[in-house]
Structure 1
């Protein structure tokens, strides 16, 4: 609740400013569309607000232009509205097909045909004004921190994967079919979280490219985004580990419980502060310790047991990749059954190293 108050305050001030400019500077008597544009543009996840503003304006402009052409061709009337809406939505599809663009194109076409072209033209001016205010707020005064976007998504993904492995341990200990089904459901939720991580990576990249505050400092964001992409592999490895362990004979499952439990604790600790160097170092050491807890395979070991052991190794290697350990060093450490490995400093991107163009609370990334 508290963390949502700041975005709400931004939207309130920005919408009020849009109304004031439209009313007292441009002298629109009913300047409702300027603040509406600002609110729609800013009412989305941080990192996507600037893009939302551009999509909104693109829809409005497309709708008004199509409406003008339809009126010139057919004159006012019901067929004109139908044609204008149809062509406006098609035009929105051509320029990207986002829902907000399609909706605004259709609405603007209806307004332009139904109330007159002048009303449509005024709406374009209001939309440009409202989007401009939204861009100033989202890109100059209060831009999203790219690494903060990534780390927040990483934390949620790691926490869900940690819980999935913890539930695997409980399923092994309890042997309850309902508990086992809960594990699968939670793994599916973790995959949904991975989809959100993909969106966060895209938003972080957009913020780093488009906000002047971050221009020329994209390397840390790109590096952390590559680490975050590795969580897709970690999710697949956790699913493999869960499936292979639960497929073992009851007597053999318990042999893997210590390793799976330690991996769960490792991911949970990493989720608490994925951008902290000491936390990453400790996570790497704990992951390697979990690899050592997996039972050694005897000659002629069953294929199912070998698959479970491989699952442990895969999770360990993916954790090491996420915290920044080179692949060859990670494999060597697993083979040597050692916990001695050095993790490089994670990417950082500080507000203080950029020119400040506005105030607002700052969160560490």
Structure 2
């Protein structure tokens, strides 16, 4: 009976976790889905009103796919999509011109579209969209619907996507960047937690496990760099530049700090490989403690309370390991330095000024200022944004 109860509890916890993740994903992508639906409907309406006696299916498809990109890439995605659609339509029209409708025209048009797209660009979205457009052209083309109509449809769909994504509803970049930061922090936390578990094992297998996990951060670190590039491009090309780009620029600096934090985590994980078994077991709770800190930050980057809690936890872990002694061997000295680096980068990422970090780490400053995360405008082209009460939710204090 106890086993059944435990199993039921585990099942309920699993279901609750899945539901919460689904809600979070829907909350994250809900506005993007709504904007894509609106764009498709608008593109269909405009194309149907301008060109009579045809079904303008290319217009909503172009708008939908262009708006389905991540926030910072909608504009460039619309341009790539338009290139693919043009290539596909032209290849499909050529196939219909030289062959009868059917599998022959579909094969010829699709192959020609993909070859031309691959010669023009290495972007896979262009190659894929050119093939899809060629297939649609060869299958659904009507005798009274010339190819120029489909080109106009594609232009309308891409134009609607650009209007919505760049002028009326540009991406909420701060929210987008924080989602990427949370994913990167979560990956860092998982890596350090697994490294900490590996430190409790003996033998060469433990070292091999640590080395294997060092590559876990490659994807989130690449996503962070990509987010920085996309944010600067969006500021230049969208109506965000008409408002206040300050929060986006500030968040760009936060990503830079997060990249440094990721490098510190890698350094900490790397130094553990050269330690003996006894030192590894001593370091294991420290590494897992740092993982808990990163998990706290990943839970809610928009909360100052979470940042204060993370700083407290980082200090507890770093002070618990100590600063080392002059008699330490080079590996042990490097490990103490790595722990301090991770704690330092966590505090800087949380918002503590760099010149105050050393005083905080060694207990000379007990109440540093941790600013509230910046709020982003609800409408990105406006300077107005919601003002939240500037109240300290928790008081920074030394723990442990």
Normalised by the size of structure 1, how large is the TM-score?
Answer: 0.78
Residue 315 of structure 1, aligned match among 334, 342, 346 = 342
Residue aligning to 2:64? 39
CA displacement, residues 301-331 of structure 1 (integer Å, 9 cap, x when unaligned)? 1111011111111112221222233333223
Residue aligning to 2:378? 351
Residue correspondence of structure 1 range 29-68 to structure 2 within 5 A = 29-61=54-86
Q: Which 10-residue stretch deviates more, 338-347 or 311-320?
A: 338-347
Residue aligning to 1:278? 305
Q: Which 10-residue stretch deviates more, 331-340 or 82-91?
A: 82-91
Residue aligning to 1:89? 117
Residue aligning to 1:256? 283
Residue aligning to 1:363? none
Secondary structure of the structure 1 residue equivalent to 2:77: helix
Contact 1:139–1:212 (CA under 8 A) maintained in structure 2: yes
Ranges in structure 1 where 5+ consecutive residues have no aligned partner:
357-365
Closer/same/farther in 2, CA of residues 293 and 38 from structure 1, 3 Å limit = same
Secondary structure of the structure 2 residue equivalent to 1:48: helix
Contact 2:243–2:382 (CA under 8 A) maintained in structure 1: no
Q: Which 10-residue stretch deviates more, 312-321 or 17-26?
A: 17-26
Alpha-carbon separation, structure 1, partners of 2:258 and 2:161: 33
Residue aligning to 2:220? 193
Residue 326 of structure 1, aligned match among 350, 353, 366 = 353
CA displacement, residues 38-62 of structure 1 (integer Å, 9 cap, x when unaligned)? 1221222233222211222244456
Q: How many residues align?
A: 347
Secondary structure of the structure 2 residue equivalent to 1:234: helix
Residue 295 of structure 2, aligned match among 256, 263, 268 = 268
Ranges in structure 2 where 5+ consecutive residues have no aligned partner:
1-21, 100-104, 384-400
Q: Which 10-residue stretch deviates more, 236-245 or 150-159?
A: 236-245
How well do the aligned residues superpose, as a CA RMSD in angstroms? Answer: 3.8
Closer/same/farther in 2, CA of residues 33 and 66 from structure 1, 3 Å limit = closer
For the pair 1:14 / 2:39, whether they are aligned, the reply is yes
For the pair 1:223 / 2:250, whether they are aligned, the reply is yes
Q: Which 10-residue stretch deviates more, 7-16 or 269-278?
A: 7-16
Contact 1:67–1:113 (CA under 8 A) maintained in structure 2: yes
Tell me how far 1:241 sits from its aligned partner.
0.9
Residue correspondence of structure 1 range 173-192 to structure 2 within 5 A = 173-175=200-202, 181-192=208-219
Alpha-carbon separation, structure 1, partners of 2:247 and 2:38: 32
Residue aligning to 2:324? 297
Residue aligning to 2:390? none
CA displacement, residues 99-118 of structure 1 (integer Å, 9 cap, x when unaligned)? 333455677789999989x8
Tell me how far 1:90 sits from its aligned partner.
7.1
Q: Which 10-residue stretch deviates more, 306-315 or 7-16?
A: 7-16
